[in-house]
Amino acid sequence: MYTKKEKILVIGAGFVGAALTYHLSKQNKNVTLIESNVGAASEATEKSFAWINPAGRVFGNSRPLYDAVLDEYHALEKELPDLNVNWHGALTWGVSANMEESHVHRLNRDQIIELEPNLKEYPDEAIFAHKEGALDPVFATNLFIKKAEENGATVLFNSKAIQIIKEGSKVVGVQTSDCFIEADIIVLAAGTAVPELCRPLGIEVPVAPSPCILIRMNSKEKLIHSLISNQQFEARQPTSDTLLAAEDYIDESEENGPEAVGKRAFETLRHSLKGGENLTLESIRVGMRPMPADGYPIVGFHDQIQGLYLAVMHAAIALAPFVSRLAAKEINENVQMDDLNSWRLSRFSV
């Protein structure tokens, strides 16, 4: 059985890796987090729309884990009061929504106008998930890391994992860009880099980059009060002077590349909102989300390589707090959490 003296190394200081490091550090002070970039949340996390949304098409044994998302966040807020989740709700129309959710109900036109008075056009009906919200993913990631360090964890930036080293069937450490770090347990939370790190070990991890576009705009006033998702745009306003929009990546062509898609989204919002003419475009950025082949997380110890733990997931912002707590329990206490059994890597070899 694992003891608290075992050295745990987490690779990747995005939202998932930071949440895992925080939960691991609550029981084990011998935890190290390494990140190839100069700071945390520098890859997909930084470009995340950060919608805490447990709804959608979820099959089989996964439904209870998605149902636990909101309760987990509320528990985490009590633990970390500075987390600062904005529970503004999500308003959708013209796109698929799950009406089976207990926190979802229909709004008529007058109710929509009351909730969002700055829209220029209104549907006759919309669905409002009043318990959903969003957060600042970069701030939250750094908060996890700060608390982990207070618990005794070590955090190393500018330290790129080059190769996982094993002796026989057990991991012994990681060769980084500047040194060798000994470890009894290696947690792979490096997103799209996980397949590359696993391949030399003879492990195929079916995870591919899934690009998304985040458009950041400057605003002179609060134009959007909830999170709005429809066929024209998906947007939220975290502060009175910042508005965010999310768009699907199409390709790299001049007509449909990220820059063109982002500018179209910007123009759509300028023309869809009262006061939208005062919006100014700040940035258009592409994030590479790690997408498992079947869309569900890959979490757990590898069956053949002792001490190797995988933690890859989408949607990370919604799932990471809950999954990381369960994963930390598996790692720290050498137990198997039944809730995670449907998300093991082994499901792809069946």
Q: Tens digit of pLDDT for each residue in 268-325?
A: 999 999 999 999 999 999 999 999 999 999 999 999 999 999 999 988 999 999 999 9
DSSP string, 99-126: TTSTTEEEEEHHHHHHH-TTBSS--SEE
Identify the pLDDT of residue 58: 63
Least Cα distance to 312 among 163, 181, 190 occurs for 190
Domain layout of the chain by residue ranges: 8-66+136-206+293-349, 90-130+209-290
Spatial contact of 206 and 292, defined as CB atoms under 8 Å apart: yes
Residue 328, preceding bond cis, omega within 30 degrees?
A: no
Q: How many CB atoms lie within 10 A of CB 246?
A: 21
| Dihedral sign computed on CA atoms, order 48, 51, 52, 56 | negative
Give CA separation, 254 vs 210, 245, 251, 268, in Å. 20, 20, 9, 19
Identify the pLDDT of residue 29: 87
Residue 99 half-sphere exposure toward CB, CA atoms < 13 A: 8
Identify the pLDDT of residue 153: 97
Query: Which amino acid is located at 50 in the chain?
Result: A
| 145-172 average pLDDT score | 97
Query: Which amino acid is located at 208 in the chain?
Result: A
Q: How many CB atoms lie within 10 A of CB 95?
A: 10
Identify the pLDDT of residue 91: 97
Identify the pLDDT of residue 65: 77
Identify the pLDDT of residue 3: 44
Q: Tens digit of pLDDT for each residue in 20-44?
A: 999 999 999 899 999 999 999 999 9
Spatial contact of 294 and 215, defined as CB atoms under 8 Å apart: no
Give CA separation, 310 vs 17, 39, 313, in Å. 11, 22, 10
Q: Tens digit of pLDDT for each residue in 114-152?
A: 999 999 999 999 999 999 999 999 999 999 999 999 999
- Laid out side by side, the sheet with 298-301 consists of 154-156, 31-34, 8-11, 185-188, 308-312, 298-301
Q: Which CATH superfamily is domain 8-66+136-206+293-349 in?
A: FAD/NAD(P)-binding domain (3.50.50.60)
Spatial contact of 207 and 293, defined as CB atoms under 8 Å apart: yes
Quote the tokens at residue 149.
């360090």
Q: Say which residue the tokens 């929504």 belong to.
A: 97
Q: What is the bridge-based pairing of β-strands 207-218 and 185-188?
A: unpaired
Q: Which helix (H) or strand (E) holds 266?
A: helix 258-272
| Cα–Cα distance measured from residue 232 to residue 216, given in angstroms and rounded to the nearest whole number | 17
Quote the tokens at residue 82.
């500075």
Spatial contact of 345 and 204, defined as CB atoms under 8 Å apart: no
What is the CATH code for 90-130+209-290? 3.30.9.10
Quote the tokens at residue 8.
């745990």
Identify the pLDDT of residue 281: 98
Identify the pLDDT of residue 116: 98
